[in-house]
Structure formats: C-alpha cells, structure tokens
Structure 1
C-alpha cells in the first residue's frame, strides 16, 4: 500500500451491504492510525437534498433533469469549500464514498442517453477518478429481499425488474466508461467478514 490519501468509491445495488463494508473499511484505516472521511451521493448539500425529495416521490422532474441534478450534486461533492472531496483529500483524509459517477451511468441509462449522462459527468471523471472502485455485486433478488426487510418506504428504483436492469447497466458502464480505472467486482453474496477481507486485500494493492 502506497502513501495515499486515497479516494475509494463503493458501488452496488441497494441492499448490497455498502454501508456495512464502508464502516469496516473506515475501521481498518483508523486501526492503522489513518484519518478517514465517509461520504455518499446524493450528498447532504442542498443539491443532494433536492434529489432525495425526487427519489421519494415528493417532487417530480424529467429523467434528464434528474440526471443533470446528480451531475450537479457531484460537482458540489468534489469542489465544496469545506465538505468537498478535494478539500478532504488535501487535508490528508482517505475519502470513501458510497456511489459516484458509475451510479449515474447505471441508474439513469434506462431513461436517458448514456453518452449524454457520461458527458454530464466528464468534469468529475477528468478531475478525480477514484483510486479504487469496488462494486459489491449481488443477485437482484437478494438485494430486493434485503431492501424489503428494512421496512423503509421504497424509492424510485426499488423493484426487482429495475434492480436487474441497473445491475446490467453497472457492468456495461464499467466496460464502456471504465477504461484506465481500477474497478474490482466483489461477490456481495458472500459472508460479511469475507467480503470485508476481500476489500482490504484490494486496498493493500494500492
């Protein structure tokens, strides 16, 4: 493992264990005495809060507007003066983000031209591709069971058919837009501890 600090992105369907694995990763870095900043998209910034309202069905916008909102939120996520990823990296924190631009490509490609979505996200890809993108790959049926088991209200993309489509679109996005990036697919159906060990093994290769 080199010096870092590293920008690590964890992608996956809802229910794939992103939150749990991000916490394991934070514990790993902290045990080594290394500072770690956890973040997520949509953000808690005003752009992200509006997106959450759309995902919960409280606001209705055109799919292209939603794709543009995600791209705008990502710009804020990168460049915000105090909460931005670039600021945190400059301060010496490893930054671990739940979701980044591959989520836009996976979730929006069904409704909006993928090339247009990729174009919206060119600034993010040019400015800061992740040092490592981990895709927690899970059978959509298992993902759906886990989401339902939480007992929370469902969001825009939470049907089995949509999850199947999104999983396919993730794999397509990695193939088409992931050139030159370090992307690792991890079997998220495995035991939690084994998934965490696999992730640490990938971090140690950086």
Structure 2
C-alpha cells in the first residue's frame, strides 16, 4: 500500500457506530456467524444493520446477479463491478448507519475483492486494494473476522448450485485463502483469523471475544 493510500484509509471507529466484517472463502460459514452475532448484539439492545456484498441495495442486488449468476464477465470488468457495488453501498447504507450509531455487520467487504480479483484472478493485490479503498472512501471495518477454511472443506460445505466464483478451480480458491492470510498478517490489529473447521459454537464464542475486545477499547 502506498503512503498516500495508507494516509487516506481510516477505521470506522471515527464514526459513532460499530463496523464488523466477516470474510473468508466460500463455505466458511459466514452467513451463520453473521446471524449469531446479530442475535447477541440485538439482545444487548443495539440496533444492528446486516448486509452483504455484493448486494445490500437495489443496485447492489442487480450487480450481484450479473457477477455471480450471469454470463461470463472479464476479470477487469468483474473487479470494477464489485468496486461500483461497494461505492454505492457505503454511500447509501453503511456510512449513514454508522453515523446514526448503529452496528453494521457485513458479509464480505473490500478484502473479498482484494483476494478474489487481486489474488484469484491475478490482477494484482496492490492495484485492486487501491481501487477498493478509493471506492469506499477509505472506510474500513473496526474488526474484520476471517473465517479460514481450506478449499477442500469449503467445497464440501458448498451447495449443489455454485455461483460463478464458487465454481472456480481449486487453485483459484487456494490463492484466495493465501490472500486473506497475507492481509491479516499485515494488519493484525484489524483482523481476527479463526479456524472455521471448528464447531459453530466455538467459532461464535471466539467472534464474541473479538467484538468485546474492540468495544472495550472504544469505551
């Protein structure tokens, strides 16, 4: 990351709300952990907004249909469509919710594009990172939880109707996994890497510990 990009990037902690992102390969269990965290935070009386990317807005859902369930999309066009989704998503949903003091939990964010298009599509991590961070105006989550799973386990967990990215070869998913681990190693303050092969309950407990740590620092 260049010095200028690093200077422009900031945590969501500058806003009143809390921003948590779940990342990881396909089949890692993100949807389940998002639901469990939302339930706990709501029980604590917090107002929670749950979203996904691509998606989350009417435009985002159209982009999701194109890039995940449509015909072939060239790698660079794919990267630009994902960036457009995030730019609109942050402007219309995420930043307004954070400014209102809400908790935003998203299933995927900028790191998905950095790993899937930057590493998996071999478009270059730094290039896709710069594009993604520009698209979201430098807004990063307070905590990014990476549910780490091997491509083999991910394949076993995926359904019978994989989307375009889920259908990619094993080498693609291996590159994506390496990309996530490299990102997390480079910024351990923001990332929490969890072994997603563990039971749902153990992963959930570790998620709660990570969120509690962020909240305690912010208090």
TM-score category, normalised to shorter length: 0.7 to 0.9
Q: 1:97 aligns with which of 106, 131, 149?
A: 106
5+ residue gaps, structure 2: 1-12, 215-219
* 1:129 alignment counterpart: 140
Aligned to 2:104, the other structure's residue is in SS state strand
- 1:6 and 2:18 aligned: yes
* 2:196 alignment counterpart: 188
Matches within 5 A, 1:47-126: 47-56=60-69, 58-80=70-92, 84-109=93-118, 110-111=120-121, 112-124=123-135, 126=137
Please give the alpha-carbon distance, in whole angstroms, between the structure 2 residues aligned to 1:198 and 1:185: 10
Please give the alpha-carbon distance, in whole angstroms, between the structure 1 residues aligned to 2:177 and 2:47: 32
Farther-moved stretch of structure 1 (185-194 vs 154-163): 154-163
CA-to-partner distance for each residue in 1:98-117, whole Å, 9 max, x for gaps?
00111001001232122221
CA shift in 2, pair 1:122/1:79, >3 Å:
same
5+ residue gaps, structure 1: none
Paired residues of 2:26 and 2:166 also in contact (CA < 8 A) = no
Aligned to 2:27, the other structure's residue is in SS state coil
CA-to-partner distance for each residue in 1:9-60, whole Å, 9 max, x for gaps?
000111111000000000110111111110010014324423432322x233
Q: Over aligned residue pairs, what C-alpha RMSD do you find?
A: 2.2
Aligned to 2:130, the other structure's residue is in SS state helix
CA shift in 2, pair 1:151/1:160, >3 Å:
same
Paired residues of 2:184 and 2:193 also in contact (CA < 8 A) = no
Aligned to 2:17, the other structure's residue is in SS state coil
CA-to-partner distance for each residue in 1:111-132, whole Å, 9 max, x for gaps?
2122221121122565311100
Paired residues of 2:110 and 2:133 also in contact (CA < 8 A) = no
* 2:156 alignment counterpart: 145
Please give the alpha-carbon distance, in whole angstroms, between the structure 2 residues aligned to 1:50 and 1:122: 19
User: TM-score, structure 1 length as denominator?
Assistant: 0.87
User: TM-score, structure 2 length as denominator?
Assistant: 0.82
Q: 2:43 aligns with which of 31, 34, 58?
A: 31
